[in-house]
Chains A and B, each alone.
Chain A
Amino acid sequence: MIHLPSATLRRRDMMVAAASSLIVAARPEPVRAQALRPLAGGGGGAGQSAVIDVDKARVEPIPIAIPDIGGPDGASSQLGRDISGVIRADLARSGLFRVIDPAAYIQSGPSRGDTPNFQNWRPTGAQALVTGKTEAQGGGGVRVEFRLWDILPQAQIQGTAYTTTQSNWRRIAHIMADVIYERLLGEKGYFDTRVVYIGATGPKDRRTKRLAIMDQDSENNRFLTDGSWLVLTPRFHPTRDQIAFMSYANNRPRVYLFDLGSGRQTVLGDFNGMTFAPRFGPDGGSVVMAVINGGGSDIVVTDVGGRGPHKLTDSGAIDVSPCFSPDGRQIAFASDRGGDQQIYVMDAGGGGAKRISFGSGKYATPVWSPRGDLIAFTRYGGDESDFSIGVMRPDGSGERILSTGWLVEGPTFAPNGRVLMFWKETRGQGARGAGFTSRLYSVDITGFNERVVPTPTDASDPAWSPLPA
């Protein structure tokens, strides 16, 4: 059977006072996974498998049936219905699955988790089927059995049981959606992930900005700072335990690390000038960021303890927005060293900078795909011309624009490199900027499936977490 990642995070629910704000620890609880003994399929099945290779071609969405997961009692059944709903929503939102409307299911009532009657599922048009059962356990725990079936060949693709606390049921649903995505599309999903962003309230000239975190489906939203100080540009550590961000605490704008286990905020390093635009290195041991130095801004790399800062550029120009390649060997950044702001790629140790953006306009915020094959960017021109989000190969070729608007900025990749999140602002009309909004969006790297990512307040600066290790 497939071995699934079993998280090793410890639960820490303490309240910690930090920098004039009360922060609740914001780590997710663990989910334990256990392989189920495979059940025999119906036998004699023939026909096309639901499993495809998503990289081979642009594919039609996979039709999948996800009946409500059942349970032995009312509470377990409700949990099963809730879990099934989250799986359906995750897969449908991806654009790569067509979730068959439960009203079209021939079999009524919840699935039982044992071998399905495939004859009942073929007429729905579904190629894949999810069954399972939930069971409440002592001490507020829950166990969820889950099986994924290939309907035409009548074969079990996956069978796993998950245990966690009942309050953590959403994570089970996201993990199941990731397994379905991976088993049917041949690459990892991105549903058991979170997004950090900046939540904003108040009029445009007096915005209150707070660090916020939520699940990728906008649930479990929490604000991590209280708005006392301006905060900007949060980014996830590869282990998902820390966030690097910029805070104006005590009117000294610097890069800080926010520990999600304790809620503690720590300034990164000791620099005379402003530090900003942080990103963790792929090994998690270093941070690359920009630091003001005289008239310009330089790229520096430091370890996560702030020790041993090492300057990578010293051009006298504005060098900003550094981002490591996923193999850690190169750094993309934006610079106006040649006049207009453009994207450059240099060796991770500094040196060898080569300009890669040559289209019309200015290029900013380069972000390397976790797959290494693309760099996403923000492109803009004059004051009155629209902004765009796009991708190009790391050598600058193959530029494609994915979204355009009055202001679109700050792309961040889902961990599988297939979806981007960014933010979009509408143009305020009139002297007081009425009608100004700032919201998060996601779009496939194909340019399809653009959709709003709901947030409780205006939002900007999204950063997508990796999957759990």
Chain B
Amino acid sequence: MKNSAQKEFKEDFQLEEPLAPKKTRFQEFWLIFRQNRLAIIGFFIFVLFFLSAIVGLVLTSGQDPLFDPARIRLQEKLLPPLAKPNLDSLAPEDVPAIGFYLMGTDDLGRDVFARMLQGAWVSLTVGFVAVGISVLIGIFLGGIAGYFGQHYMRINHIVLASLFIFGVGLIAVQSPHLGAACLVLGFLLICYQALTKRKPRKKSMPSWTRFLFKNAISVDTLIMRVVDIMLCFPSFFLILTVVALLPASIYNIMIVIGLTSWMGTTRFVRAEFLSLREQDFVAAVRALGVSNYRIIFRHMMPNAIAPVLVSATIGIATAILTEAGLSFLGFGVPPPHATWGNILSDGKRFIFDAPWLTFIPGIVILIVVLSFNLFGEGLRDVMNPKLRERH
């Protein structure tokens, strides 16, 4: 009896059409993306660039690489693209692996093709690592500002934070003793607060301590003011200054570009979080007692990630351009290593005799940056809910 009722119920239920859309989200994305021909081209160039950078890394590094970007052949200098090497005057190990110079040679007779392959990896890592750093900082700060924004920092928090900052700063400058004292004092304060929180509070604190627990500034205001401060610096000039002062290395460039470009992401994420926080699904999750951490990363972040992805794609293009500009000015990756920027800046002296030394890196940078920009714009269209409804 009971069984048959259950069966009936089941059949009843199956009669209805499945309510979920037939297309998955990915298929939907692809439908819109496919219509933007420029974005498709951008995407394929992007994949091609990615692959060639990885292949380039494998072929040009190691003890005895297939394409040696640093091999100097003084008798073969400034050969045009597709030129055949002069086999009579060249030692057999100096002959390029493919039998001719695909992109010519530079003023020291180095194979430009090998150098371009090596430079591709530099551009790729600079782009991705710099943007990775800036996106991480942006998501972290923007998430805090958007989600915990209405919480207030109390004066004791500020005192603690400034104690720690001063401590680290003083150690970094000259006086480690004073700095260590600051750090120890801060640590003691934390311990003291943890202890007093555990115990039930005694009758009353002295009146001056109450001042310490006043609300000073909301987290949101604090983070947004930091963003304002960062936006005051002229970005290329700041990057140039810091890179010029620090010892030349590729990692410094990545880190500096990353640390000076997170403000846009922070603003996006904050704005998205502010609107998402008020929505029903977040209230529902919160009512279920899910932890803040899980709400932020499992439920809110996937909904806020779209504009971040778009700006990250375009940010990679900007970072590649910035690195090329720095290399061009001579502040880039130190010399034996080839990057597109310094191939161009070395080649500009021979612009009339050997125009390929300027044009090949210039056009390659242009194509790669263009593909990133077009792909990013295509992504923006895909993520745009207004466009999605139409299909």
Physical interaction between A and B? no
Residues of A in contact with B (beta carbons under 8 Å apart): none
